[in-house]
C-alpha cells in the first residue's frame, strides 16, 4: 500500500476548487470533519479548516491530522475530488485514534453508507 501524498494529488486552482464545491455531496460529522466528494477522473484532495478555528498553530495541527488520516486510509477512498474541512473538535483526539469507520463511500460512486 502506497501511503505517500504526492503534490499531484493535492487539489489546486481556484476554478477547479469552486467547481468541486458546487458539484459535491456533503456529509457532516458533529465531532470530527465535513467530507465532500465529487466524481472526477483522478484522485484529488483538499484540506481546509473552518473559519471559526482561531490561531495558526491550531489550524496547522488540524490540517496535519487530516493529511495523516487521508494518507493512512487512501485506499478506502474512491477516485474523485475529496474536500476535508476540519473542525476544532479534531484537536481533542490523538492522531493514532483518528478513525472514521462510520463514513464509507458507496462503491457505485453515488451516496454514502453510514
Does any domain span residue 53? yes
- Residue 15: its pLDDT value, please? 92
| pTM across the whole model | 0.77
Does any domain span residue 105? no
The residues pairing with 82 across neighbouring beta strands, listed in sequence order, are: 37, 45
- Residue 113: its pLDDT value, please? 44
Does any domain span residue 31? yes
- Residue 68: its pLDDT value, please? 87
Does any domain span residue 3? no
- Residue 60: its pLDDT value, please? 93
Q: Is the dihedral of CA 76, 22, 11, 97 positive or negative?
A: negative
**Whole-angstrom distance, CA of residue 18 vs CA of residue 89:** 26
- Residue 45: its pLDDT value, please? 92
- Residue 114: its pLDDT value, please? 35
- Residue 59: its pLDDT value, please? 93
Full domain range(s) for residue 25: 10-91
Q: Classify residue 96 by its DSSP letter.
A: G
Does any domain span residue 111? no
Does any domain span residue 103? no
Q: How far is CA 101 from CA 19, 98, 104, 113, in A?
A: 28, 10, 7, 10
- Residue 8: its pLDDT value, please? 87
Question: At 18, which CATH number?
Answer: 3.30.230.10
Q: Indicate the number of domains in the chain.
A: 1
Residue whose C-alpha is closest to residue 65's, from 30, 42, 99, 20: 99
Does any domain span residue 30? yes
Q: In the chain, which residues have pLDDT < 50?
A: 102, 109-114
Amino acid at each position: 500500500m502506497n501511503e505517500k501524498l504526492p503534490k499531484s494529488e493535492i487539489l489546486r486552482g481556484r476554478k477547479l476548487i469552486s467547481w468541486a464545491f458546487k458539484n459535491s455531496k456533503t456529509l457532516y460529522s458533529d465531532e470530527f470533519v465535513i467530507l465532500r466528494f465529487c466524481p472526477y477522473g483522478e484522485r484529488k484532495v483538499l484540506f481546509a479548516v473552518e473559519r471559526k478555528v482561531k490561531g495558526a498553530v491550531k489550524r496547522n495541527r488540524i490540517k496535519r491530522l487530516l493529511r495523516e488520516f487521508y494518507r493512512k486510509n487512501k485506499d478506502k477512498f474512491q477516485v474523485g475530488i475529496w474536500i476535508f474541512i476540519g473542525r476544532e473538535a479534531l484537536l481533542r483526539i490523538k492522531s493514532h485514534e483518528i478513525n472514521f469507520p462510520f463514513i464509507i463511500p458507496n462503491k457505485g460512486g453515488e451516496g454514502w453508507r453510514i
